[in-house]
Structure formats: structure tokens, C-alpha cells
Structure 1
Amino acid sequence: MKSFYSNGKVLLSGEYTVLSGSIAVGLPTKMGQEMLVENNLSKTIVWSSYNKDLVKWFECVLDVKSLEIIKTNDKKICLRLVKILEQCRFFNPNFLKSGKKIITNLNFDQHWGLGTSSTLINNISRWAKINPYALLKKTFGGSGYDIACAQNNTPIIFSLRSGKENVIPVDFNPDFKKNLFFIYQNKKQNTLDSIKGFEDKKLLTKSIIKDISKICKSLILAKSLDEFRESMELHEKIISYVLKTNPIKNNFKDYNGSLKSLGAWGGDFFLAAGPDDTLDYFKKRNFKIGYRYEDFIL
């Protein structure tokens, strides 16, 4: 049996702008996805996916030669998987020549936006011995920072240079991390939809891209919580202007701290930088899923 594991991710900064040339800061999470592969004597691919509660949420059986669907409980997801496997064969014609039994295990909720797709792409790419960034481009799209997080056990600075992924692991272990919290917004944002929606925005100037890159560096180098919060708020102000959308702090004006969206605005997790009772503040407002930095980020 072969085993593969990839880290989940959150995008601390550089959302949207990274696709246009800014740097971004990615944080790999302590939660991720495991994939187990073993030989199957039949001429089929038997695929089973389990959620964090060990409940099977997806299954399918494919013909190993044609990748034709024999059985599935979700045709839409199955067709997406078939496309991924077809692309793997395009990049590696010797891939998947015999029957296999595959099990995937998530240890985070697939609705949280922590990388159900990117961890799968990275695991499958390692199995198929192909470039995960190339596979991502042919399937889900995006900058590729999530693949970098899947592969690294420290925060990263990520950028695209002439279409080439540039990944720099960084040491981000601030004294004030006890004041950093990740809160789930109770709804998932579709990455594909958010990317397509942003393509219509015309306000992303070279000056803004430069400013966001500078803020990304400031976040990593911040020596105090006040410095970090100042950079958070400036980042929110700029992206709010570009998207013509209110920053998330407008929804929690009485919170005694700073808030920043993570990744696509409107869903998934956001970052709170503030007092020790931050998790209690949000639980009282029905945002019951929240983590301290040290419990969430590698």
C-alpha cells in the first residue's frame, strides 16, 4: 500500500492580487488529507472518500482502461475525478495501468475551504509522479499557492513570475500569535467562481499590486501585534476598494481588534487579531467554529 499526505491551507494575504503578480503569504494548516492506494485484482478503480467524521461522502467505481463510470453516488464529482485522472495520463502515459483501490481521508470539514481540492491534486500528482502545478492548471485553476502549502510545513511567500511558481519558506513565529484566531464564516466560498468574478475588476493597478506585496512582507516581519494589525487593516482597505465590497470588520464593529478576510471574500475563514476572549466573542454571535493560531497552523 502507498500512502500520501498533503497539508491544508489558508491565504493570509495577497488574495486576488497574486494572480496578477503580487506576492502572497500562505499558511499550511495542521489539518490535511491522506490518500491510500493499494492494488485491486479486478480491472477497476474503486474510490472511497471519507470526511473528518469517518463517514463516506463520495464513492465511485471506474473502468481502469477507459475510465468509464461504472457506479457512483455523485456523478458531478465523479466526472471531475475522471478529468483529473485523464490529465494524469496525459502527463504520464504509464500511469494507472492496473486496478486500484483508493481511499481518501479528510481531517477537516470539506466545506471549510481548507483545500479539499488542492490536497487531492497534490496527493494524486505524487502518486502519478507528475507536476502538481501543471495538473492544477488543467483542472481547478488558481495561483498554485495552495499546492505550495500542501508541500511545505512552514508558512510560505508565494508568487508567479512569468507563469512560474516561486515558493519561499519563511519563519513566521511571532510572540503575538496567541492573539491570532481563525473564525469560520459558516459558509463556503467557491474558488472557481471567485476567480471568474474577479476577472471583471478593472481597479487592480500596478501600484496596488506593489502595495499588496509590501504589506505581505510587513505582515511576516511585524514585531508587534499593533504593527501586524496595521498591515491587516491596510490590506483590507485596498482589497475592499478593488472589489467594491465592505471589509468584514463592518459586520463586527464592536469587536476590539482587527479582522481580515482570508482567500476569496465572502466565505470560509477569516483572521481575527485581538484580545484573548476573541473566540468567546464570536461564539456568542453564532460563529462557533474557531481556532487559535497554534492549534490551526503548522
Structure 2
Amino acid sequence: MKNKFYSHGKLLVTGEYAVLDGALSLALPTRYGQVMEVEETENPVLLWESRDELDQVWFKTEIPLPLQDPETPGKGATTETELTLRKLLQAVEHQRPGFFSAAKGYRVVCQLGFPRDWGLGSSSTLVNNIAQWTGTDPYKLLSMSFGGSGYDIACAKHASPILYHRAGTDPTVKTVDFNPPFRDSLYFVHLNKKQNSREGIRRYRESQADKSGLVRELSELTHRVVEAKTLQEFSAYMVKHEELISNTIGLPTVKESLFPDYSGSIKSLGAWGGDFVLAAGGPETPAYFSNKGYKTIVPFREMIL
């Protein structure tokens, strides 16, 4: 018998970087996610296979059970991906000792519903699926593997927009109605490259800007974004948010650097410099970005749950 688990992808609309310091953030679970199927076997080995959105295998491995010493989770790993997987499995063992015993084995097949370079949470959806399967805490698994604020785990677990706040290690998640009347003027545009969030976080951490003041301002902006009734109002908040982050990390906004002639407003989502941005503008928006070579343009209705 196969057990099937599913987790939603994510997009962070407000609070990037500052969510790590407790800023209230608006995060949106996506219609795209990841499925994981698990089947028990009699052979004491973990057979693992990861497939992309085209059903092509991009990673596979066999890991003997029981696992190696938890203090050396990387022993036997031949690739960075396998090392990460082994660390995740050992994190499960820390919460549930003996889960991966030699009494049985497993065949696991993971199926992404979006391209790996989209940055919608191939890691967070994996972590949450593993947590569902093993009955463990996904936030703790994340902390022991990839790290981060945990908002992506909250998105994986929820089927509607959320307000996310992390005080210390304890996250607070509140579902919220965010389906604005101007949603047909919102588009998610992929910048044709995947961004390494660790580099952006490092830059943020090294900034000497007033982080406590930034957290307060972004938290207030988050409330205003959720309550915005018009596209003009929403766009003004986007611009203000971009200015605050730009001043903090010392980088120009994506509109300044790539799209200065765009008539609407643009906001980075998550780590600056890659993945998706949110464009708010008129019906000419898709043609504008397509003409500049950005072909992945997803309307709000098609992206967000």
C-alpha cells in the first residue's frame, strides 16, 4: 500500500529578510506543490527517487537501513543532494529514534509540480512531506537541515494566504483573506534565474541598518497590503517596501536595475536578484515582460490558492 503526501509551494510577498527578526509577513501558498509517495518494502533499504515537473528523474539513491551514526549523517553520501537528504533523515531520527530501523525498508518517489528553478519551495515541500510521513515537527526538521524563518513550511501546511510571525523559535500563523479586487492586475514574473537566499541573508545580517525599526515598519506595511482596496494603494505599499529593503541591504530595487521603463510597480519576492517578482500594472504587463525576454508570466489567479 502506498501512502501519499502533498505540500504547497510558497511566495513571500512582504517581510523578506526581516521575517528572520520577527517582522509580520504576508506569505502565499501556491497552486503548485510537491507530492511524495511512500511504499513499505521488506528489504532494509531506502530507495529514493526525485522527479521534476516533466516526470524526469533528477536524483535517485539507495541508502541502507538502519542509518549510520547520527553524528556522521553525511557518511556514504556521494553528492550534495544525497548529503542533504541524509541530514534530513537523521533529523527525523533525532525526533523519532529508530524510525529508520532495519525491520523494513521504503520506496519513496517525490514529484515536483513546478520547475526546480522557480524557487517555489522544492526544499520546504520536501521537508513538510517528510514530516507528514514520519510524524515529526517540520519546523525542527527545517532548522536541522536547510534553516530559515519557517514561513515556507507554514505555506506548505496551509491552503490559503497567511500572516506569519516568528518570535524566537516559535512561529505564529494566521490565515487571512487576501484575494484583492485588483488581482487581475497582478502577475508573477520569473527572472530566468534561481537566487541563493543564503547570500542575501548574509548581506542583510551584515547591514548596520536599524533592524528593529525595519521590523516595525514592515509589519505595519504588511497590514496595509492585506487591507488595500485599490491597485494604486497596493502599488504604493509595494514601492515603500522596496525602498526600505533597498536601503537596508544596499542594493537597487529590481525595477531600478532591470525595468525602469515599466509603467506599473514591481516587488521582489524573497531573496533579491532571482526567482519571481510581483508586477502590478495594466493589461499590457504580460507583453512588456515577454518582449524583454521574460517568458514565465503567471497571473495571480493561476498561481495563488
TM-score range, shorter chain: over 0.9
Question: Could you tell me how far 1:167 is from its partner in structure 2?
Answer: 0.3
The one-letter code matched in structure 2 to 1:65 is P
Secondary structure class of the residue paired with 2:182: helix
Is 2:263 the counterpart of 1:256?
Answer: yes
Is 2:301 the counterpart of 1:297?
Answer: no
Is 2:123 the counterpart of 1:117?
Answer: yes
Is 2:138 the counterpart of 1:132?
Answer: yes
Residue of structure 1 equivalent to 2:239: 233
Residue of structure 1 equivalent to 2:105: 99
The 2-side partners of 1:231 and 1:66 are apart by 50
Stretches of structure 2 that go unaligned for 5 or more consecutive residues are none
Picking from 270, 274, 280, the partner of 1:267 is 274
* 1:140/1:192 contact within 8 Å kept: no
Question: Could you tell me how far 1:294 is from its partner in structure 2?
Answer: 0.2
The one-letter code matched in structure 1 to 2:105 is G
Residue of structure 1 equivalent to 2:67: 66
| 1:275–1:20 distance in 2 versus 1, CA, 3 Å | same
Is 2:17 the counterpart of 1:16?
Answer: yes
* 2:38/2:106 contact within 8 Å kept: yes
Secondary structure class of the residue paired with 2:224: helix
Is 2:166 the counterpart of 1:160?
Answer: yes
Residue of structure 2 equivalent to 1:30: 31
The 1-side partners of 2:241 and 2:202 are apart by 21
Q: Which deviates the most, 157-166 or 48-57?
A: 157-166
Q: TM-score, normalised by structure 1?
A: 0.96
Q: 4+ runs of 1 displaced by more than 3 Å? A: 67-72
Question: Could you tell me how far 1:195 is from its partner in structure 2?
Answer: 2.1
Picking from 71, 75, 78, the partner of 2:79 is 75
The 1-side partners of 2:210 and 2:115 are apart by 33
The 1-side partners of 2:97 and 2:75 are apart by 22
Question: Could you tell me how far 1:70 is from its partner in structure 2?
Answer: 11
* 2:30/2:304 contact within 8 Å kept: yes
Picking from 261, 270, 283, the partner of 1:276 is 283
Stretches of structure 1 that go unaligned for 5 or more consecutive residues are none
RMSD of aligned Cα (Å): 1.5
The 1-side partners of 2:16 and 2:212 are apart by 15
* 2:18/2:211 contact within 8 Å kept: no
Q: TM-score, normalised by structure 2?
A: 0.94
